[in-house]
A = this chain, B = another copy of it.
Amino acid sequence: MKYISMFFIMFIALSCKDQPNQISKKNTNQKNQQFALVIHGGAGYIKDLPQDIEKVYREKLNEALETGYAVLERGGSATEAVRQTIKVMENSPLFNAGKGCVLNSLGKPELDASIMDGKTLNAGAVAGVSHIKNPIDAAVLVKDSTRHVLLSGKGAEEFCQSKGMKLVPESYFITEKRLRQLKQIQKKEHQTAKNHLSYIFNGIKKYGTVGCVALDKAGNIAAGTSTGGLMNKQFGRIGDSPIIGAGTYADNQTCGISCTGTGEYFIRTAASYSVSDLMKFKKMTLVKAQKQVIDRIEQLGGDGGMIGLDKNANIAWYFNTQGMFRAYKKSNGEKKIEMYH
C-alpha cells in the first residue's frame, strides 16, 4: 500500500513522459559480471487495483521473476532465463499470452512470440499459432533448428510437431472470462469504432503482452516477448511481438528490449531496434532512448511501454500508459515489483 500512495502522488505531481524511469543503479566496468532480469506483463490503464487482484499479480510476477533469476544464478544462459520466465506468464491466465490469451474477431486464439540472442543476433519467432501451449518454446525452436527467423500459422505448428512438440487444442487457451470480454468489446466496438485498439480486462484497458530481458553471467543479453495480440483483432493480424526490431531486440553491444502496446506503432517505428541505435549512435542512456521512442510512438497516436537492460546491468522501463506490470531483480540484491506510475 505504501507503494500505491507513493506512486499515486507521483502520478499527480509528475508527467510520466518527463520522468524516464531509470530505476536501477549504475554498474559499469565491474570485474564480476552482474546478472539481471527484467519482466513486464503488459501496459495499460492499470491503477489502484483491488488489493486481492494486486496480490495475485504481484505473486505471479514474483514467480516469473524468480524462475528466470534462478536460471541466471546457476549459470544458465540469458536466452534460457527468458524462455523459462515467459513460460510462467504464458501458463498463467492473468496475462494475454498462452493460456487465457485474448481472442481474435472469430473467437479464436492466435498467438505470437519471439526471442533474440544478443551475442549472435540469432532470433526466432512464431506468429498466428493456435495449438502451441508455449509459443516462446516454438520461438526458441525456430531460432535453434531452422534457417529462418519467423514461421507463421500452420507451417509453424507443423514444424514444431515435426520436432516432437505436442500440439494442444484451441480450447486449452480459451477462458470464460476472455469470451465474455470479446462479446463486450464486439458490442462496444460496434458502438464506438474509435475504441478498437484496446480492450477491457478486469475493467482495466490494457495490453497484456508479456516480455523478459536477461543479462547472464557471461555478459550475454537476450530478450523475448509473447502475446495473444489485440482482443477482437482481424483474423491473421500480426503485431509487433513476433517482429524482431519491433517488439523484441537484443544486442550485447547495446541492450535488450521487450515492448507492449499498440503493436502497429511499434512496427512503424522499429521501436526496440531504435532504442539500440539511439544508444549506439547518440550515446543515449537506455532510459533516455526508451523515452525518445515512446514519445515518438505517442506523437503518431500509439501507446504502450517497454522494458530493457543494458550490458552494464542498468535496468530501465518506460511507458505512456497509466501503468505497466513490471519487475526486475539484479545480482547486487536490488529487486522491485511495480504496477502503477
Interface positions of A (Cβ within 8 A of B): 116, 121-123, 127-128, 146-156, 158-159, 196-197, 233-239, 243-246, 249, 263-264, 267-270, 273-274, 277-278, 281-282, 300
In contact, B147 and A264 (Cβ under 8 angstroms)? yes
Given known contacts A270-B270, A300-B121, A150 and B245 CB-to-CB distance under 8 angstroms: no
Sample 22 A-B pairs with CB under 8 A, ordered by A number: A116-B268, A121-B268, A123-B268, A127-B152, A128-B152, A147-B196, A150-B237, A150-B267, A151-B236, A151-B238, A152-B236, A153-B153, A154-B235, A154-B236, A155-B237, A156-B236, A243-B243, A244-B268, A245-B245, A245-B267, A273-B273, A277-B277
Given known contacts A245-B246, A281-B282, A264 and B154 CB-to-CB distance under 8 angstroms: no
Which residues of B sit under 8 angstroms from A273, Cβ to Cβ?
A: 245, 270, 273-274
In contact, A281 and B270 (Cβ under 8 angstroms)? no
CB distance from A93 to the nearest CB of B (A): 25
Q: Name A's interface SS.
A: mixed
Can you list the 6 inter-chain pairs with the closest CB atoms, starting with the nearest? A155-B236, A245-B270, A281-B281, A155-B235, A270-B273, A150-B238
What is the bound-complex CA distance between A154 and B277, given in angstroms?
35
Which residues of B sit under 8 angstroms from A267, Cβ to Cβ?
A: 123, 149-150, 244-245
